[in-house]
A and B are shown apart, each in its own frame.
Chain A
Amino acid sequence: MAELGTQIAQSQGNGRGLGRRGFLVSALAGGSVGFGWGQLPATGSSGTAQAATAAPYSPTNLIEIDASGVVTVNVTKSEMGQHVGTAFAQIVCEELEAPWSAMGIHHVDSDPKWGVMITGGSWSINWTFDALSRAGAAGRISLIAAAAKQWGVSADTLTASEGRVSGGGKSISYGDLVASGAVTGAWSEDDLKKITLKPAGSYKIIGKSVAALDIPLKVNGTAKYGIDFKTPGMVYGKIVLPPTRNGATAKSVDDSAAKGVPGFIQALSLKDPSGSFSGLVLSIADTYWAAIKGAALIKVDWDAGPTAHVDDAALVAEGRRLQADPNEGALWVNDGDAIGALAKASNVLTAEYSTGINLHAPMEPTNATALFADGIWHFHGGNQFQSASVPLVAKAMEVDVSKVVLHQYWLGGGFGRRLEGDYFIPAGLAAKALGRPVKVVYNRTDDMRLDCARSPSWQKLSGAVDGGKLVALTHDVACGWPSNNVFPAGLGESLDKKKVDVFAINGADVWYSFPNHHVRLIDNKLAEATVPPGYLRSVAPGFTVWALESFIDELAHAAGVDPVAFRLAHLDGAGKNAGTAPMSVGGALRLAAVLKQAVERSGYGTKKLAEGAGFGVAIGQGQERAAPVFTACIAEVSVNKKSGKFSINKLTVVYDVGTAISPDGVTAQMESATLWGLSLALYETTTIRDGAIAAANFDGYTPTRISQVPPLDVSFISLGNFPVGTGEPATTVVGPAIGNAIAAASGARVRSLPITPAKVKAAMA
């Protein structure tokens, strides 16, 4: 593999060693980013001659310390805007006691040696913090041991700081120690576990807002994304869109008219053994422009397939039909006897909530290049879930998984779209058919209409209150299950021993103490057959929390209790809501704390509002209960009661991040997640029509633009608890907070996303 990497680098006219492949997705602190590895500053006194000869020292495969003192962190997570590598480098740097300027990152290609490779779920920091800390600490201990041996003293008499080991009047740099060849020591899992890590509160670099290592490459055009890859002999492919998202067949393909386009080569009609694609037709040409022109002239006789009649209404009707059958669905929460309690209760409140289909639409349209060399299929393109994409692509290519390598790039947005590996397949099958490298770039319409979109959801909730508290709540969710499409092995088991997609129901298992609580997840197979669903940023809580937190407000209203007070009354941290060390230690009491901070910062309950203005609140736990990011949002809105038009005066968002690795990085993620939540709440919508996704570009699907950004106040609590990921949580609470604020301001309760002036006006009537 290493050999081939070098070959590819050389074929691109690059030098030795890590070559171009190495620094495409690598960066170094200390100002030399973007100029490759040849110009690294010498951080020790060892000089480059030794650096070239002595092997780097790796206490674990996550880090390498070379003879010039440069520390490279092998980042197994994808960089898609979260600056994850920078945070990883900080974690390693802290325990290693290296100078920050010596830290570098390298985003690795798919290789089984890295273990499970997935970037999603806001899992990167919390699942990696311990291993990275221990790798850094092991490096420090080995370096000290080497110096102790060299000087004939006890390791206890030596200390490490800023990349040097010192003691007894002597001092040596890490680089010189590595260059001497004396740093050895393999670390077993058991040895690593025995290391005592620094306590929170004693950190030097964790908790500092360092400049993100990837940013310099992203202001001068040198950051390389998958779409930027090029290789000799490569031709371009453009998708010829089928009439439906799924299940179409190309009965015949006629490319005679396209042959007149200079540079057009041929149409390809391909069978995909993985089953990801049906009706896969490509326009192949010498240039992408010729492929685009050719695609427009290729005539295909399509069979639109079995879902050609399906539209949004049909999916809602199917959700409704399934929900009405008590035997349908998998039981996800069953505390007390909610159904029995509601049967006995007077004044049962019932509401239906829905979300439509939502698209990822990353700014870098889905794309991939495939090439075959030395018996290996090489795929170039950013990906978030190598552990699932490699097997999928291998199935499509009809080769063993060992014959597929995914080469990593900076991702021009992920948002969950690149968790699915389907977009490698057109390039791979075309390269196989043509016997030459092929780069397939989806244009924006292809990207939107072939998205593994977030499934529409339809939810029904019933509840009753008494004496200011909840008596019982039932929550039924019907939607397409993304794991059935992307990762069936990821299906879990429900309380009633059925298969359940946790990624279609997370968020409904709240940290509130409810005496009687019943949650059921129903699989809408028609939705899955029509638009194979994917994971979209924050995944299930993007719709479950929307319904739940809106309905909690309806219940608070019915109970005659202020919505914040109603929530706090159920956040007692008792029983299963006490939390578990390390990730959810403190439990619901930490959720109460973020809510209180949001109340204080927003002026909820104290600020005097104008007529037509209102506050709304929503809280959540991020992507999943087991690794919670306790989150609160308070929206302040003004509503015109005649027109239904409304404006967002301010969004206040508070997280409890446990421990912030890079505070400015956390703030950036919070701003991003808040605006994603706003976008889904107000602006992003399309429809399913005749089995196809209707949106064709950013005029039909309209994410937030700069003029639509309201004043934001984002802040976080960082008290030394276990660090958690911050990329998703706010996305889940902004929608219900806005909906609740609109209801508070005007009495209009909107129960479907996106919230629009027309829906607000209709709800007031």
Chain B
Amino acid sequence: MAITITVNGHEHALDVPSDMPLLWVLRDVLDLTGTKFGCGSNLCGACTVHKDGKAVRSCQVAIGDAAGSSITTIEGLSADSQHPVQVAWIKEQVPACGYCQSGQIMTAAAFLTQNPDPEDEEIIRAMEGNLCRCGQYVRIKKAVQSAAEAMQTKGATTNG
């Protein structure tokens, strides 16, 4: 029986084993390769996507358990790379090899939605699960701070 999920606003009916991790459905079935395989064990964060708005490790979500949910991947975070986190990532020149960055960005975006005005320690705690082998952490921290500021300014403008 087909499993139905919505990915980046598009509904898909999938004929795949229900234990197949969401990661491999995204990458190998739906060709959404922006979501990366790093460890397969919830240890590196490279495969982070949003499930119903919350950051999850797609290597740990069986597709059967994602049935009916709404998934957002890096490809769907914004239409034009203009999400404040993406803008901040460019401004601070964060990516080096870039392989972990989809996961870093998705983690940061979900975190800032929940905590728009984070303390530095909260940023560190939120990003701790995302490994960056190139060691771009100084820039990651700065970019999350920068995105938070931009989102607050934007929010203030909208509200005001």
Contacts and interface: CB of A to CB of B under 8 A. Distances in A.
Main secondary structure of the interface of A (DSSP, over half): loop
A444 B94 CA distance: 24
Contacts of B75: 220-222
B97 A288 contact: no
Interface string B43-79: 1101000000000000000000000000001110110
Interface string B11-43: 000001100110010011101111111111101
Query: Could you say which interface size class chain B belongs to?
Result: 35 or more
A698 interface: yes
Interface in B77-113: 77-78, 81, 86, 89-90, 93-102, 105
A335 B17 CA distance: 68
Nearest to A411: B97
B93 A412 contact: no
A223 B102 CA distance: 10
Contact of B136 (A225, A289, A361, A671): A671
Contact of A81 (B32, B40, B74, B98): B98
Contacts of A217: 98
A706 B44 contact: no
A410 B34 CA distance: 13
A610 interface: no
B2 interface: no
Given A218-B95, A413-B99, A287 B28 contact: yes
Interface hub of B17, B37, B94 (most chain A Cβ within 10 A): B37
Most buried by B among A83, A220, A698, A703: A220
Q: Counting chain B CB atoms within 10 Å of each CB, which of A224, A411, A413 scores highest?
A: A413
A664 B138 CA distance: 13
B38 A81 contact: no
Contact of A441 (B37, B46, B78, B81): B37
A601 B21 CA distance: 50
B133 interface: yes
Contacts of B105: 219
Contact of A698 (B39, B102, B127): B39
Contacts of A675: 135, 137
A42 to B, nearest CB: 22
A321 B107 CA distance: 51
Interface string A74-93: 00000111110000000000
Interface in A663-708: 664, 668, 671-676, 679, 697-699, 703-707
A379 interface: no
A236 B137 CA distance: 34
B7 interface: no
Contacts of B41: 444, 697-699
B132 A287 contact: no
A12 to B, nearest CB: 10
A414 B96 CA distance: 11
A362 interface: yes
A586 interface: no
Interface string A330-364: 00000000000000000000000000000001111
A81 B99 CA distance: 9
B20 A287 contact: yes
B155 to A, nearest CB: 22
Contacts of B135: 671-676, 679, 704, 709
A623 B20 CA distance: 44
Contacts of A698: 38-39, 41, 43-44, 131
The 9 A-B pairs with the shortest beta carbon distances in the complex, nearest first, are A221-B34, A412-B99, A218-B98, A81-B96, A675-B135, A81-B97, A221-B74, A228-B33, A218-B95
12 contacts: A34-B81, A80-B96, A81-B96, A211-B90, A211-B93, A219-B81, A221-B35, A224-B33, A287-B16, A288-B28, A413-B133, A444-B40
Interface of A: 34, 79-83, 211-212, 214-225, 227-228, 230, 236, 262-263, 287-290, 361-365, 410-415, 441, 443-444, 664, 668, 671-676, 679, 697-699, 703-707, 709, 712
